[in-house]
Structure 1
Amino acid sequence: MTHQRHMTPAVPCPYKPRFWFLIAPTNFTVMKLSLSCFFFSLWPSLCATADPVTITTTSGHLRGVVDDGVLSVKGVRFGLAPTGALRWLPPVAFRSAAVQDATKLGPSCIQQFTFATANLTEFLFNNPPPPENEDCLFLNVWAPSPVTPLKLKPVLFWIYGGSLAFGTGSLPAYDGTSIAKNQELVVVTFNYRTNVFGFPSAPDLPLTGNNLGFLDQELALNWVHENIIHFGGDPTQVTIMGQSAGSVSVAAAITRNQQGFKAGIMLSGAPLGPADDAPDFSSFDDFANAVNCEQSPGPRRLACLRQIPATVVRNFTNGPSSGAFGLVLDNFTFFGDPLGRILAHKTTRTPLMIGNTQNDASLFVLGLTNLTEFLQSTLPGVPISADQIRGLYPGRNDVQVIGAFSTDLTFRCPASLWAGAMVKAGIKDVFRYSYGAVFPDTQLFPNAGAWHSSELELIFGTFNQTSSGNDKAVLSKSLQTAIANFVKNPSTVSPAPNWERYDPGQKTLAELAFSGNVGFDDFVNPVMSDSEDGSCNALLDKIITSGV
């Protein structure tokens, strides 16, 4: 290992209950008012004096910086450019002995934002927008400095969400400085291919060659195992954490019995796909026809499609005619019966932190008011009436019922089923939560509440500390500490006071910051799981697992 420090100053989705990931809805009421001001001021600029540092890795001699006790390298290539002949092929590891500048975040992969809701989605989840490039397999590392090889630190490996259609590790929101500095963890973020580039659902490819984004994730994790020790990280103490589609990615890694991590954290996303779904290739076929590659599916059509510039592809996939691209059930990277595999002990038997936000679906049902129409579009063919659903949520109007039902169906009930299956399979170190914090500066649309991904700025400590109140800073520290406690020792009795191992039906579901309680000693309020899972137990679990 070479670790040289130089002292020269430098300045540095509507959805279906069987869907495996979250898709942005197509009928949002676009709420632009004040959003641009909020998100452009969300992350303060980090302009400080820093010291150059060089770390030797399999990707080369990385010239990063040490700033305020945190070593960082950014824009580190871990895979060859998946372009040209390598488009739609499994990623290939990048190896180099050259000096590499590692002071700037790399470009994101090509993004797809559903045409009808693109403005709102980009404001919320891609702001400020990084440059995009098909050549995008880059990662970033933040580590406490100085590096101490004799006392290695646990590693937190972050997988972003975005419906497997968009997202990047290059957002300021996912800067690892705060966690690394405050919690003595090594933090890794990275890019994986999304939409048609990463999950094409293409009949031209082998079925096992379609979920390419998952293979990118695995390659990045392999890089961590080879190189993280040079940053003072322990390759045997890696926890993978993801949110939304990133949480589904964590679940997929567990379900396929992937190795290389000691624990998982699943934030707002737990797949429960059926085992008999055939792949849908229609979106890829429509895309091929739209760019005039009209050969029959196979090598000749792929050769034609590989000649299409990435900008042309992006223009189509972000236009009104594009369909969605996503996971295929290949029984290699993704399996259709995760609960069955858990109970059969066919999965990675890893400690797990899992949960959801209290109003996880509020963003996805924005503007919807007709419960009957919503049920018909969300659960087509399922014999269920609006009155049956109203009965699960007494005292609420239809707008509130739609939000609560959607949160339960897509987030809370799947998390409950996953956590329960893990415990039943004999995995004792399972910690379940529900996050309920609401702050005035995050109420960006009507009935937002604790909305989908509103907790991430607190977990990463990237909220605007100038405009936020002290309660948010205190809760941020509490959340970080609880997560860090789990990462450091996932078999601990409690990540935080009153947060015990999950036992279904017992007072072990951790409600986080539901009542303005933000301090580490009291931000956890344990409740009986039935108090939140009532609709799941009464009806929704049956719908989710059987469709009737």
Structure 2
Amino acid sequence: MRSSLKLALALAFQACYVQSAAVSVSTSSGVLQGKRADGLMVFKGVRFGQPPTGNLRWAPPVAFTSHVNHNATTMGPSCVQQFTFARAAINQPIFNTPPPPEDEDCLFLNVWAPAPARSKLPVVVWIYGGALAFGTAWTPEYDGASLASNQNVVVVTFNYRTNVFGFPDSPDIPLIHNNLGFLDQDLALQWVQRNIAKFGGDPRKVTIMGQSSGAASVAAAYVRHAAGTAPFRGAIMLSGAVESRNPTPSFTSFNAMATALGCEQSPGAERLACLRAVSASTIRSYTNGPSSGTWTSLVDSVTVFSDPLQRIRKGQTSKVPFIIGHTEDDGTLFAINRTDLPTYLNATYGNRVTADQVRALYAPGLSDNALITNVEREFKFLCAAELWGEAAVSAGTLNVYRYAYGAVFSDLQFFPNLGAWHSSELFEIFGTYNRSTATAAEKTLSSTMQSIVGNFARNPAAPPAPHWPKYRPGNKTSTLAKLAYNSNVALSNVVQTVRSNSLDSPCDRLWNQLLDVRV
């Protein structure tokens, strides 16, 4: 994505919200001094967790409580970001422009609520993506003003720790404390349950929504809460979920980092103390450099399980209604500059998948780049939607809505031939598209996508759009909703239903064998 275009988009949207007056709300985080503007109460930079620094680095988050006044008019800094060296030139212009301030002290949230405060409004809580390596609520695309105003809902966004700070994969701390980013998310949801009524929201009407690894975060929360215990009543998973996982943790990246930073003790308390004394900026320099490994969630059987699909099938999850799906071109962004299929497959799947197997799944004559694009879409996003839909329906979850999103707009083609690329729908959902370049169709689709989210938040047991049936897997029903294909952007025609398994052949023939390990 070209930085100038991304910055122009952010400034064009932010310019719409200028006039404001002071407003205050008393919460467990103190008396928040926010702003009232454009029919909304807006509170930014609300501390919900104590600074995860010093001895709280690589420790579970601790709730922040206060009784004093706090300025809540400015976003809190982002958590420390990692843009892996090999993909930084692609990811940073798209997801880090303009670059936000970063700080290890980053557990802040933001609230947009209709003003004056009303009672029992639905609440949408947003969880950002970024491969659990980067991402922030600071991102201008995630501004909640348009969605809150147009749909009469309360919108909450928050930061959670990512990369080595949030998912350290470390043998120096207890296994159940390794998925710190998910514990941060849980703490934010607890804050919502405790405080959202003060903003006119109903804690019993919370919908959690995320995209990419944010969708995987939503999925992980869906799985770890038993029926009747979840701090949400609906879930929206945009291009992401969780599937079967190897339960054996790998500490390779953390151990290599410790050695590189001069902490050469054996794993344990002494080495952890050494690493806690290293500055966050030094760690960031390492994790964003060419020698760094990657960090992600691991199986702890508390926040993440090795068999989530089986847990769904056995009814061991929250069983709340959900929307799940993918974009038509979810793979294009990940396939940029990748043109050798055998090399890509070996690096990604080892000896589990061959080039001949992949070529047999798709139409003959496709270039290696096109094949890699398809693999990225299917393996990471499309097949997960199929598996989750099947598992939930088989367990008796009646309100499942599956989709594919196909809208393509020229002012969002930040790289050539991206199509309906991974996260392109977020500009429409949040209404943060560039108002100076958007077409009439894009503006209409934004209203439509916001209505879909708002309708689901108001009643997750009802269709989120006209003519959108509950999902039923297999080849005998047409319940997969193709959204915004063929220039159908109005709420009345945005849904085109197709046969439920019409997109799933590559999944059924190969990819599900790797994603769904039944035990």
Aligned to 1:155: 123
Contact kept? 1:207, 1:330, Cα under 8 Å:
yes
Aligned to 2:186: 218
Contact kept? 2:307, 2:517, Cα under 8 Å:
no
Within the candidate set 465, 468, 472, 1:496 is matched to 465
Q: CA deviation at 1:336?
A: 0.8
Aligned to 1:372: 342
Matched, 1:182 2:179: no
Matched, 1:40 2:7: yes
Matched, 1:530 2:498: no
Q: Matched residues in 2 for 1:375 and 1:120: separation?
A: 20
Aligned to 1:458: 428
Within the candidate set 148, 158, 167, 2:135 is matched to 167
**Residue 532 of structure 1 aligns to a residue in which SS?**
coil
Q: CA deviation at 1:533?
A: 1.1
Q: Deviations over 1:117-172 (max 9, x none)?
A: 213211101121110000000000000111123xx100001000001111011111
Q: 1:159 to 1:383 in 2, by over 3 A?
A: closer
Aligned to 1:129: 99
Contact kept? 2:220, 2:241, Cα under 8 Å:
no
Within the candidate set 401, 406, 427, 2:371 is matched to 401
Structure 2 residue ranges without an equivalent (≥5) = none
Q: 1:195 to 1:232 in 2, by over 3 A?
A: same
**Residue 236 of structure 2 aligns to a residue in which SS?**
strand
Stretch deviating more after TM superposition (441-450 or 212-221): 441-450
The amino acid across from 1:279 in the alignment is: P
Pairing 1:412-491 to 2, within 5 Å after superposition: 412-491=382-461
Aligned to 2:39: 69
Q: 1:517 to 1:488 in 2, by over 3 A?
A: same
Within the candidate set 219, 224, 238, 1:256 is matched to 224
The amino acid across from 1:534 in the alignment is: S
Aligned to 1:29: none
Q: Matched residues in 2 for 1:133 and 1:251: separation?
A: 27
**Residue 502 of structure 1 aligns to a residue in which SS?**
coil
The amino acid across from 2:321 in the alignment is: P
Number of aligned residue pairs:
509
The amino acid across from 1:341 in the alignment is: R
**Residue 42 of structure 1 aligns to a residue in which SS?**
helix
Within the candidate set 360, 375, 379, 1:391 is matched to 360
Q: Matched residues in 2 for 1:63 and 1:85: separation?
A: 30
Contact kept? 2:3, 2:94, Cα under 8 Å:
no
Contact kept? 1:363, 1:448, Cα under 8 Å:
yes
Q: Matched residues in 2 for 1:405 and 1:85: separation?
A: 42
Q: CA deviation at 1:401?
A: 2.3
Q: Deviations over 1:191-239 (max 9, x none)?
A: 0001111100000000001000001000000111111001000001101
**Residue 41 of structure 2 aligns to a residue in which SS?**
strand
Q: CA deviation at 1:241?
A: 0.6
Contact kept? 2:309, 2:516, Cα under 8 Å:
no
Contact kept? 2:341, 2:355, Cα under 8 Å:
no
The amino acid across from 1:312 in the alignment is: T
Q: Deviations over 1:308-343 (max 9, x none)?
A: 111111111111111001111110110011111011
Aligned to 1:507: 478
Q: 1:156 to 1:470 in 2, by over 3 A?
A: same
Matched, 1:521 2:492: yes
**Residue 454 of structure 1 aligns to a residue in which SS?**
coil
Q: Deviations over 1:363-417 (max 9, x none)?
A: 111122222333333321125342x322322255123222122211211011100
Within the candidate set 70, 83, 89, 1:100 is matched to 70
Matched, 1:246 2:201: no
**Residue 363 of structure 1 aligns to a residue in which SS?**
helix
Runs (4+) off by over 4 Å: none
Q: Matched residues in 2 for 1:371 and 1:318: separation?
A: 26
TM-score by length of 2: 0.96
Q: Matched residues in 1 for 2:109 and 2:302: separation?
A: 25
**Residue 94 of structure 1 aligns to a residue in which SS?**
coil
TM-score by length of 1: 0.91
Matched, 1:311 2:278: no
Within the candidate set 95, 113, 118, 2:83 is matched to 113
Q: 1:443 to 1:57 in 2, by over 3 A?
A: same
Q: Matched residues in 1 for 2:391 and 2:280: separation?
A: 42
The amino acid across from 2:495 in the alignment is: V
Stretch deviating more after TM superposition (395-404 or 235-244): 395-404
Aligned to 1:273: 244
Q: CA deviation at 1:185?
A: 0.5
Q: 1:383 to 1:321 in 2, by over 3 A?
A: closer
Q: 1:320 to 1:512 in 2, by over 3 A?
A: same
Residue identity over aligned pairs, in percent, reads 50
